[in-house]
Structure 1
Amino acid sequence: MESCRFTAPLWRWQAQDSWFFVTLPEDAAETIRERPRPARGFGSVRVRVHLDGPGPVTVWETSVFPDSRSGSYVLPVKKKVRAAHDLEEGDPLDLMLEVLD
């Protein structure tokens, strides 16, 4: 299982105010692109995410999606996770991503 660690800011999707994402840095996106995997809807890739502090580490499974604007992938960050870590738009998130597919 391949993984990568990075820090990136949380941002709000303007088309849907309640949706928040993190854009993967290029090295993390390259890790995903290089790995062969089955075709999935919207080009999504299943991942397990580890978010470090403040507070305990939170782990969840989701998918990352290709982002045509940045040429990278975006990671959705659900409300439950944002609330548990008191996260707001612009906050840097320390993440470890494990590629599951």
Structure 2
Amino acid sequence: MDTWEFEAELWPWKDETDARIFVTAPPEVTEEIREATIATGPPRGFGSVRVEARIGTTTWRTSVFPGQEGYALPIKKDVRRREALAVGDLARVALTLL
């Protein structure tokens, strides 16, 4: 199972302060995810890749979405509440391909 860990800043989609919040995987993680998914066939809708994500003690299943800077991971409101995170905070993220 492929797993990556990185630290990234939480950012809002289109300047929304609480609706859709993301972190972006760094370029080296993005490239490794792309390489790891080549063998699995064409990507899902919008180029998304299914992952299990972990921040702190909170783990959930979701998808990462390709963007100009790298794969974007949506951070659910419940995760942000449990881990006391807000836009602009740094989070330690673990991603595992599903």
* Structure 1 stretch displaced more, 2-11 or 29-38: 29-38
Q: CA deviation at 1:15?
A: 6.0
SS at match of 1:14: helix
How well do the aligned residues superpose, as a CA RMSD in angstroms? 1.3
Q: CA deviation at 1:27?
A: 1.4
Aligned twin of 1:75: 73
Aligned twin of 1:14: 14
Instruction: Select the structure that is richer in strand.
Output: 1
Q: CA deviation at 1:87?
A: 0.9
Q: Where does structure 1 differ by over 2 angstroms across 4 or more consecutive aligned residues?
A: 36-39
Instruction: Select the structure that is richer in helix.
Output: 2
Q: Structure 1, residues 59-79: CA drift from partner, whole Å, max 9, x if none?
A: 000000011x32x11000010
- 2:41 and 2:59 map into 1 onto residues whose CA distance is 24
Q: Among residues 37, 41, 58, which one is paired with 1:38 in the alignment?
A: 41
Provide the aligned length of Structure 1 versus Structure 2. 94
Q: CA deviation at 1:38?
A: 3.3
Aligned twin of 1:24: 25
Aligned twin of 1:96: 94
Q: Structure 1, residues 20-77: CA drift from partner, whole Å, max 9, x if none?
A: 000110111011110122331000000001112xxxx11000000011x32x110000
Normalization by structure 1: what TM-score? 0.86
Q: Which runs of 5+ in 1 are unaligned?
A: none
Q: Which runs of 5+ in 2 are unaligned?
A: none
> Percent identity, aligned pairs only?
44
